[in-house]
Every structure is written in C-alpha cells, then in structure tokens.
Structure 1
Amino acid sequence: MEQSDAIALVRRALPGLTTSETRVAEAILGDPGHVAGLAITDLAVRCGTSVSTVARFAQALGYSGYRELRAQISRSVTLAQAQRDRFGLESTAIDPQDTVAVVAAKIGAQQVDAIERTARMVDQDAIDVVAAAVVAARRIELLGQGASSLTAQDLQQKLARIGLVASHAADPHLALTSVSLCTEADVVIAFSHSGETPETLRTVQVAKDAGAVVVAVTNEPASPLIEEVDIVLLTHADESPFRMAAMSSRIAQLALIDILFVRVVQRAGGSVATPLHLTHDAIFRR
C-alpha cells in the first residue's frame, strides 16, 4: 500500500467497524504513539480482543497486516510531531484562551497539514479522469453549499480563464433546475466536506438520473455522497473542535482544485493559450 496517513484512515473507518474493531481503532486514536510501540499481542490484550481481529482490522484499512499498519502509525506520529515542532506547538487544538500569536501558529499548522496531506494522498488516476472529462464536457455544473460554494466559485473562475464555461448556482432550487437538463456529455462536480449536505445530495441524485458524469470532492469516504457519484476526489483535513467556520476543509478543497485545474490546463494543451491571453488583457488592460 502507498504511504498514507494511517491515523486519518483509522478515524475515517470508525463508522463501519464492528464492536471489537472499534476498540482497536479507539486505542490507536487515543494514543497512537504508544500503540506504535506495541506488538500485535499486546494491542489485542489491551483492547480485549483477539490477534486475528487486530490483523483483520489492519487488512481492512488496506495494509498487508499489523506490522505495516504499526509502521504507518509511527510515521504519522512522527510527521505530526514535526509539524508541531515546525510551528513551536505542543498541540494544534485551539483553546479559547489562546493568544493571537498562538492562534496564528495553530491555524498555520492545521492548514499546512491539510494541504500537505491532501497533496500527498491525492488519487492521481482519479484526477486525470476528471480532468479529461472536464476538457471534453459539453457543460460543467459545480455544486456546493456554504463554504463549499466558495470552492465551486473558485473553480468556476479558473475554468473561465481558459475558455471553459462552468455554472454554479448557490440557490439549491436553481441548481436542481440546471442539473436536470444535463446529459451524458456533461460533468457535475459536487463539493461537500462532510458528504452529507442534503441540498447537494438531492442535486447529485438528479444529475445522476440525467446521465451526467458526477464527481464528488469530499473529506469523508464513507459518506452518503460517495454512493451517488462516479468519481471521488478526497481531501484530507481535520477541523479543530473549536470550529467557528470551515477552515482546514476549505484550504484542502482549494488545494485539490488547484491540482485538478493544472491537469485540465495540461490536457487542454495549446487550446488554452488564446483564452488565457484574452482574459488576461480584459482584466489588466489600462
């Protein structure tokens, strides 16, 4: 298995685990540094389960076995500590009593982590498939509510600069109307950090029924949105418990969209030169 964030994989797997597997996951999430030093028998005893359960748990995450899982947990712990050290922090969790300097450092650490993990774990094949579909599409529809609407608008603006006209309706009813007219020649990209936004789910279902190629950009691989789409692009961001608005999730989405956009430009080739020149002149002409 390619290098990945083992702790994030464990956290994301929680909703679908058995009771015994959940105890293993909670032990890892509760003290990953300690678990990274445990033999499989020691972890099984600590969790009140069997060695075979721990082994199956590791394999369910995509690892060859517990040894590989343990190595990747150790790697994740090391990377997280390096990130905290980089910003001079003991923890990146925001506390109401933090000073401005500490808040700035923690936000910086969280957002850098979200960008780096999203870039490191990006599904390269999926990016290329989506880029090809976008270049060939008759119509491009972008969906998103709240902070995800901002990401949709960002991609809409980027595509416009290279002559690819994309639509984004922040109003759910207008979005439904628009995607209901899609065909197999069209691409719909839905943004939802949780993968559970009701308005987005409903619109995606209509787009799917219309025959469009539907893409999800989400942080949750076990979400309802995943079940409704053709292609999934995952972000990797952890929001602070002291969350007042989407922060790391928005940054991760924007990073992923930048990766996708560059691949679209690469695939479109020389055809984007004229639109780029014209749109640049239109904006910067004095």
Structure 2
Amino acid sequence: MPCLKLVRHARTRRNDMKKETEPLDARLLKVYDQLSATDRRLADVVIARKKDLLAYSATELAGLAGASKASAARFFQRLGYAGFSDFRQQVRAQVSQQSPLARIGRTPARPSESASLQAHVQNDVARLGSLLDGLTQDVLEQALELLVRARRVWIVGYRNGCMTAFYASALLSQVRHDVNLLNELSGREAEILADLNDKDVLLAVDFRRRTSRLPRIVAAARSTGARVLLLTDTPLSALASQAAAILHCPSQTEQVFDSYVSAVSLMNYLATSMAARTRKQARARMSRIESLHAALGDLETDS
C-alpha cells in the first residue's frame, strides 16, 4: 500500500507539473466553449492583449472586460492558476522561453549526430501530422476561394513569418496575377494600403515571436474593406477576430528554433490546389513566365 501511495503521489505531482507549464492558449482553448459571458469577455481581452499581458494588473484587465476584480480572480483560477500572481509568473516564464536563447540551455550538450538528426526529423514528421488535425476541408476551401477570387493578393509576415511570406509570394505569383509582398515596400505601406478595397485579400503570417507591426498592418488593411487570410501557429491568435479564414499551422517546438516545415508544406499545397482549380489561367501564366525566362536567359539548363 505505501508503494501504491507513492505511485499515486508521483502521478499527481507529474500532472500538477504538466498543468503548471501548460501554455495559456491551450488552457483557454480547453474551456472557452464552457465559459460564461463574463469569462468569455475576460478571455477575449487576454487573447487580444496576449503580447502585453505583463503590463496589465488584474484590475485593469477586469476593467477592459467590464468585469469585477473578483470575477477576474475566479477566471484565472478556472484556468488552473492559483491566482493572478501565479498567472503573471507563468506568463513571464513562457514569454522568456519563446526566445531561442532560453531554449538553448535545455538541449543536450553533445548528442550523437545520428540520434540528433533522427529526433529532429521525427519532430517535423509529427508537426506535419498535426497539420492534418488542425485543418478542416471547409477551412481549406475558404482559403482557396479567397486566394482565387481576390482582385489582388497581398502577403505580409515579419521576423519568423518572413520566410513563409516570401515562399508564399514566390509560389502564388506563378499561378495567378497581382500577388504582392508588403515586406518589400520599404516604408511605402500607407500609400499601397490606401488602394486596397473589399476585392483584395491580405495573407498575414503570424508566428511567434510576434511583432507589434503586424496587427497595425492587418487593422489598416481591414479598414479598407480587404479580407484577411490568417496563417498562424496559435489556435487563439489576437488577429483571429479580423480574419475571414484562419489556417492553424503548428510551428512551436522545444528545440532551439521553431520549425516551419508545416507552413511551407501548406503553402505548397495551396499553390498546387490553385493551379489545379484555375488550370487554364495558371497554365497560360506559367507558360508566359517560362517564355520570359528563356528570353532573359536567367536560368541554368538542367543537364
């Protein structure tokens, strides 16, 4: 019996430790549908201000949600925190862990090369598998409709979203006209955004570590009537309320650097699906592009 008690105690302790380190997004996602109207307002405030949570007191968050301080205290306890102070401590820890600098200390000092590469590949395979779990056919259909029917497609992604944004621009511009990368505008965003309207689509890539610039670009695009297609690594993005469709694409990892293999795969799928859906137009455009490559002589001939 004493052994059984020790096993139960160890299991309870492991569960408590797991709960302590569970990300805020995961906690909110588990309970959101069961929350009261007041708690949903608090949840929405927390989501919208996720990047700046450490700057707010419990009273300030409650005021923004139109709730009492007591309601806010119960809300954080419902999420599994001991109280608001515990919530702040864990948010502070999770924010610091987003940095590659924080994660580098948790990697093995000298793993064998084969074991290290094998684990890396297996992690990416698992990430690709979770991509299937997070996307429904309806969501993919919405995304394709937005990209195919738009007058113009604008793409933006900063920091960790930059690579995926460039890749999306490179692929989509081959299968349709008027694909533009906002990253390359060198401070001319205002002049370009002024021309957007409700026939345009903005593909926004929202990956951690997030910048304060992206929400402003998305809000400016929405103010013109443009629709937003959001590609994000979190199921509870602060930009979700402004999006016509959301593509959830997991990237977060316990490795030093986050992996974007699923984002690259998803953009490849979308571009391929667009080419199949608009076969005649896509073929004509790609044929013109190939003719221009031949005229320019800018590509090496495969041997």
Structure number with larger C-alpha Rg: 2
Alignment root-mean-square deviation, CA: 2.7
Percent same amino acid among aligned pairs? Answer: 15
1:126-141 to 2 correspondences below 5 Å: 126-141=139-154
Aligned to 2:241: 227
Give 1:277's aligned residue: 287
Residues 139, 186 of structure 1: 8 Å contact kept: yes
Tell me if 1:168 matches 2:181. Answer: yes
Secondary structure of the 2:202 match is: strand
Using the TM superposition, give the Cα deviation of residue 113 of structure 1 relative to its aligned residue in structure 2, in angstroms: 1.2
Contact (CA 8 Å) 1:123, 1:233: kept in 2 or not? no
Q: 1:21 to 1:146 in 2, by over 3 A?
A: closer
Aligned to 2:111: 98
* Residues 145-178 of structure 1: per-residue CA shift (max 9 Å, x gap): 1231111111111122223231113267334442
1:110 counterpart (123, 134, 137): 123
Q: Give the gaps of 5 or more residues in structure 1.
A: 1-6, 24-92
1:13 aligns with 2:26: yes
Deviations along 1:186-228, whole A, 9 cap, x unmatched?
A: 0000001238431111100000001001111001122212122
**Structure 1 residue corresponding to 2:138, chosen from 85, 103, 125:** 125
Q: Which runs of 4 or more aligned residues in structure 1 lie more than 3 Å from their structure 2 counterparts after TM superposition?
A: 15-18, 171-177, 280-286
Give, in angstroms, the shift of residue 269 of structure 1.
2.9
TM-score (norm 1): 0.63
Q: Is the 8 A contact 1:132 1:264 kept in 2?
A: no
Q: Is the 8 A contact 1:168 1:175 kept in 2?
A: no
Structure-2 residue corresponding to 1:61 = none
Tell me what 1:145 maps to: 158
Matches of 1:230 and 1:184, distance apart in 2: 12
Paired residue secondary structure (1:170) = helix
Greater CA drift, 223-232 or 172-181: 172-181
Which of 232, 237, 240 matches 2:251? Answer: 237
Q: Is the 8 A contact 1:94 1:106 kept in 2?
A: no
Equivalent residue in structure 2 for 1:268, among 247, 265, 278? 278
Equivalent runs, 1:169-248 vs 2, <5 Å: 169-170=182-183, 173-194=187-208, 196-240=210-254, 242-243=255-256, 245-246=257-258, 248=259
**Is there any run of 5+ residues in structure 2 with no aligned partner, and where?**
1-17, 29-42, 44-74, 82-105
1:176, 1:203 within 8 Å by CA — same for their partners in 2? no
**Aligned match of 1:79:** none
Aligned residues: 206
